[in-house]
């Protein structure tokens, strides 16, 4: 997760990596599902981190800020169900965005043919 502007952008690493300034690693444990944690952090991007970031030109949050966030977790099975549901919605959104882009390209091609 980014801890410097823009604060709160998240991604899941598919490999071991060394991280540098501006990024923190958040690792799930036995009481949390990785997919659920990812979705939860996504939901924090717009509201939670904005409320605690500091700085005017270059905003940031500290490790203490990240550690201070308390969350209530449902049981792991319920977390998995929620994460899978939200992931399926993300997949559908991605599919619709692809369709929109393809349709825009089709329209652009039609317009070029009409006005050549």
Instruction: Return the pLDDT at 93.
Output: 97
From the CB of residue 79, how many other CB atoms can be counted at a distance below 10 Å?
21
Instruction: Return the pLDDT at 77.
Output: 97
Instruction: Return the pLDDT at 39.
Output: 95
Mean pLDDT, the chain, rounded, equals 92
Residue 116 reports pLDDT greater than 80: no
Domain range for 30 is 1-116
Confirm whether pTM is higher than 0.85.
no
Q: Which two tokens stand for residue 50?
A: 């904005």
CB 59 within 8 A of CB 4: yes
Which pLDDT band, with edges at 50, 70 and 90, does 113 fall under? very high
Q: For 10-61, write each residue's pLDDT tens digit.
A: 999 888 888 888 999 998 999 999 999 999 999 998 788 888 899 988 899 9
From the CB of residue 49, how many other CB atoms can be counted at a distance below 10 Å?
24
Count of domains forming the chain: 1
SS3 content of the chain, % helix, strand, coil (to 5): 55, 5, 45
Residue of 36, 43, 58 whose CA lies nearest to 9: 43
Q: For 50-91, write each residue's pLDDT tens digit.
A: 888 999 888 999 999 999 988 889 999 999 999 999 999 999
CB 13 within 8 A of CB 23: no
Instruction: Return the pLDDT at 64.
Output: 92
Instruction: Return the pLDDT at 40.
Output: 94
């Amino acid at each position: 997760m980014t801890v410097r502007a823009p604060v709160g952008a998240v991604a899941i690493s598919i490999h071991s990596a060394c991280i540098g300034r501006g990024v923190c690693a958040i690792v799930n444990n036995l009481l949390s599902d990785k997919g659920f944690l990812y979705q939860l952090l996504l939901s924090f991007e717009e509201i939670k981190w904005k409320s605690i970031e500091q700085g005017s030109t270059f905003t940031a949050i500290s490790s203490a800020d990240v550690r201070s966030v308390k969350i209530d977790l449902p049981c792991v099975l319920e977390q998995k169900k929620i994460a899978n549901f939200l992931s399926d919605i993300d997949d559908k959104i991605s599919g619709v965005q692809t369709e929109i882009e393809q349709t825009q390209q089709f329209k652009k091609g039609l317009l070029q043919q009409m006005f050549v």
